[in-house]
Amino acid sequence: MEEYLEAPPLVIASGRGGWLTDTQGRTYLDGNASIWTNVHGHNDADLNAALLRQLDRVAHSTMLGLTHPVGAELAAELAGLTGPTGLDRVFFSDNGSGAVEVALKLSFQYWQLVGRPEKRGVIGMAGGYHGDTFGAMAAGDSGFFHERFRPWCFPTAHFPAPRCGEWGGRVFSGEAAESLAGLRALLEAQAGRTACLILEPSVQGAAGMRLQPPGFVREVAALCRAHEVHLILDEVFVAFGRLGSMLVGAEEGVTPDFLCLAKGLTGGYLPLAATLARGEIFEAFLGSYASRRAFFHGHTFNGNPLAAAVALENIRKLRPLIAAGVLGRRIECFGRLLDEAFSRHPGVGEIRQRGMAAAIDLKPDAASSRRVGVEACLRAREHGLILRPLGDSLLLVPPLCLDEGELGLLVQRTLASLSG
């Protein structure tokens, strides 16, 4: 915190498209998508209009014993994204951690309700990050980021992550055999005591954009089904166009038992999250008040109407960008520009890119204690660019609205931040 307080403050006053302006009138390209949430850009006219239309109706009405039209419409829209045999029950919350907590609790309670209370364990993947609340921290494996709180977390098991290298749409290396063998061994030993497995599909964002080979998620899903363990897909980061498709699981033909959504759900405008579940799981919770089968969980602003209205408009705008190939072309351009700028750069160790998400691993001086990632991000501000580091890596996660020229600026300014 001393470093944070010593750094010059950057106070954002306004934004438009992929750009932010501070209180001093300086403009910056948003290479962080406002912590990986922004889809159509800042101050988008269509999202603004959707918000104002709903504001003329009602800003908030609880979903505790009530509902509202825009919430019901969004629930139906989200269920539809998972396909005709997908997930048809939706529980709203207000952030990604909350969506994960809901999925974990639903899984735990489900097994109790069907007479298998011994199934209470959780399996995660090495390097997993699912949020900062206690259940999400317990399910994750974020090293020093959460290790201080480990004594207060319930125990979990973790299997190795696969290895994969990719940028520009080309997979350079991919190895999942060791990872799947580790998972298979865990399930064979512990499935009878395990409630669920949680996975960030395709890309582990907070682990440094660690990639999974094509087909890996399907293999994990098949193992979970074979061993009667719920599969939770945490798509908080990867959904809503971030990797090029609306939903990663649906794109890969995988229907999990629970799906967690947040971040890009409202296009970066408002806090909203959702946990989707299979209908047969929902049915286990049905019963009289005296049966105590109900799921007791809820936050004050769950399913907020303003956020739901913006989310619906966000999805409406995103569909044609994906269907017409516009987003795909931007992703291809992003990968090509990264390759040209960094693949042979002497200060770069590795690049990983999938969709509109990339990590550039910098080579620190082994004899120095310099934090090269932080230094590069501070220099990036001098070049009119906002980035966020992860250790010695730079994470590039731009809004999906950036055109090819703006993507070129993003890469050029990132390159300039490495040179001073």
Domains of the chain: 2-30+325-419 (3.90.1150.10), 51-321 (3.40.640.10)
pLDDT tens track for 79-105: 999 988 889 999 999 999 999 999 999
Question: Model pTM?
Answer: 0.96
In three-state form (DSSP H/G/I as H, E/B as E, the rest C), the secondary structure along 311-360 is HHHHHHHHHHHHHCCHHHHHHHHHHHHHHHHHCCCCCEEEEEECCCCEEE
pLDDT at 366 (0 to 100)? 55
pLDDT at 164 (0 to 100)? 87
3-class secondary-structure state, position 285: coil
pLDDT at 365 (0 to 100)? 67
pLDDT at 278 (0 to 100)? 97
pLDDT tens track for 362-371: 987 655 667 8
pLDDT tens track for 145-163: 899 999 999 999 999 999 8
Which spans in 148-241 are helix H? Answer: 177-190, 216-226
In the numeric block, the tokens 């001073």 are attached to: 420
User: Rounded mean pLDDT of 66-85?
Assistant: 94
Amino acid in the structure at residue 266? T
pLDDT tens track for 286-345: 999 999 999 999 889 999 999 999 999 999 999 999 999 999 999 999 999 999 999 999
pLDDT tens track for 380-416: 999 999 999 999 999 999 999 999 999 999 999 999 9
Which spans in 84-235 are helix H? Answer: 96-113, 134-139, 144-147, 177-190, 216-226
In three-state form (DSSP H/G/I as H, E/B as E, the rest C), the secondary structure along 177-190 is HHHHHHHHHHHHHH
Q: How confident is the model at residue 279 (pLDDT cuts 50, 70, 90)?
A: very high
Average pLDDT, the chain: 94
User: Does the pLDDT value for residue 1 go beyond 80?
Assistant: yes
